[in-house]
Amino acid sequence: MLRRQLPERCRPRGIAAASCISRGGSLGCRVRMELFQQRLGLFIHWGLYAIPGYSEQLQQRMNIPRDEYVSAYAPHFTAPGFNADAWAALAKSWGMTYIILTAKHHDGYCLWATEQTSYNSLQSPVARDIVKQVATACERHGLLFGIYYSCVDWHHKNYPNQGRHHELPGPLPGDKPDIEAYLSYVRAQVRELCDGRYGNIAAFWWDMNVPEHRDPSLNAIIRELQPQCSINNRGYSEGDFTTPEREWDKDNSWKPFTTKVEACNSIDALSWGWRKDPQFYTPRHIQAAIARYIARGGNYLLNVGPDANGDIDERYTQRMLRIGTWFKRVAEAFGGTTAIAPFALAPGQVATRSASGNILYLFITEPLASEGLSLRPILALPLSARLLNYARPNDVHAPVDASLQVLPYDADRQHAYLWLSLPLERLNLEVPVIRLEFEPGALDVLDAEVLTPGDERL
């Protein structure tokens, strides 16, 4: 029988462990681990860049002078349709359990009532503390809330822009590059965001520490004020979790993560902010990525960009609904399961196993070439085999035909391996997820050893 221990990724480590112990903070550690329980989250990129509807990188990519960018967009950021509760309700309807909001992106515009600069949403025509309203809405809807904060700043005159990636080409006239002066500004803003006025912060999401400057005091402030908060690895010192972006980690490993991982991507392949002419990923592409990361014990953070009105437009919501509906239907394949070696003769598959040991879940992340699927080395017929893609277990399309067959290419082995027949024509636009339940002990072959993709039985 499969024995499960607390995964290494859920054990307090390093600074995180020290902060929990020093504060007697078992609650803090528990909440921090709770964020990383195979969750789907909503990333929201929103700011002045929603007005032109091109990209959140507009100012730098188009080399727009700072004053011109500010005068073109800040006076027109009114967002009359902004409704934080609507955002939270959408996230929840899509099966998401937390929201990360861009409190400050690279352009330096702040979505909260910061006292450190007038370049903020409260002192703009929108006249709202956006961070406060989203944090409150998350609490109302039972969602965790986290904050994104860009280390790069195209607006602050002390930030040392030098033309490195995601920086302006160099200091502008009147700038006074001084990393220590800039970090004093950052410290003050981090204190504002974490001092309790925005409630419990589940995650602090740094981005683009381009100078690779080291300053542990910044994470220490977060630990002091929000001991339960998980901090990512993109800031000024080590964090709690890594953040692979846009599926760059394509090692196709099946093994469970040994550290905390949160992959992130935008539903738009070209932009994180709202775009007038979006180039959407297919729902199947995003579903496959979700399966690859969450099945292995990670989180997946999926982004949308609201428009200048404050709405998440229908083109985005339709696609998010398809992804979210799929996620909620197949969620049992993630919850309380452990990733195991792939056991089907198919490319691009992910497999998990229940804590009880007798239920297997198979995600077919790449389209199959035929309707049949051989599951080696399984020699037992399941008690039940069905697709989780359908809303009801008794849906006429949910059952999967399962049989034990000696296939032509297995004739020399004289083994009748498990064979599944799948209705591919009905599922060619999403990732099929198959649930196989067996008699207890029927899967001893999987317990005998850890199978790897090179095993002859695969």
Count CB atoms within 10 A of the CB of residue 441: 11
**49 and 125 part of one domain:** yes
CB 101 within 8 A of CB 147: yes
**Is position 441 within any domain?**
yes
φ, ψ dihedrals at 74, nearest 5°: -55, -40
pLDDT of residue 272: 98
pLDDT, one tens digit per residue, over 257-295 is 999 999 999 999 999 999 999 999 999 999 999 999 999
**154 and 220 part of one domain:** yes
pLDDT, one tens digit per residue, over 170-180 is 999 999 999 99
pLDDT of residue 428: 82
**Is position 456 within any domain?**
no
**327 and 356 part of one domain:** no
**Is position 126 within any domain?**
yes
**127 and 44 part of one domain:** yes
**Is position 2 within any domain?**
no
CB 148 within 8 A of CB 189: no
**Is position 311 within any domain?**
yes
pLDDT of residue 406: 80
**307 and 354 part of one domain:** no
Pick the last residue of a domain from 333, 359, 386.
333
**116 and 191 part of one domain:** yes
Per the prediction, the chain carries an average pLDDT of 88
Pick the last residue of a domain from 317, 333, 349.
333
Pick the last residue of a domain from 303, 333, 363.
333
pLDDT, one tens digit per residue, over 211-250 is 899 999 999 999 999 999 999 999 999 999 999 999 765 6
Under DSSP, is residue 368 helix (H, G, I), strand (E, B) or coil? coil
**Is position 194 within any domain?**
yes
**Is position 370 within any domain?**
yes
**319 and 361 part of one domain:** no
Report the number of distinct structural domains present in the chain: 2
Q: Sheet harboring 260-266: ordered strands across?
A: 230-231, 203-207, 144-150, 98-104, 40-44, 299-304, 260-266, 241-242
pLDDT higher than threshold 90 for residue 457: no
Least confident piece of the model among 46-55, 193-202, 363-372: 363-372
pLDDT, one tens digit per residue, over 2-29 is 222 323 333 333 333 333 433 334 555 6
**Is position 415 within any domain?**
yes
The residue written with tokens 């001991």 in the block is 227
| Band of pLDDT at residue 458, cut at 50, 70 and 90 | very low
The residue written with tokens 């199978």 in the block is 451
Side-chain-side CA neighbours of residue 391 (13 Å): 3
pLDDT of residue 413: 61
pLDDT of residue 447: 58
Task: Specify the CATH number for the domain of residue 429.
Answer: 2.60.40.1180
Q: Tell me which residue range forms the domain holding 365.
A: 338-448
DSSP string, 130-155: HHHHHHHHHHHTT-EEEEEEES--SS
**375 and 231 part of one domain:** no
Q: Residue type at 259?
A: T
Tell the burial category of 92 from Cβ atoms under 10 Å away from its Cβ (0-12, 13-18, 19+). middle
Least confident piece of the model among 196-210, 214-228, 356-370: 356-370
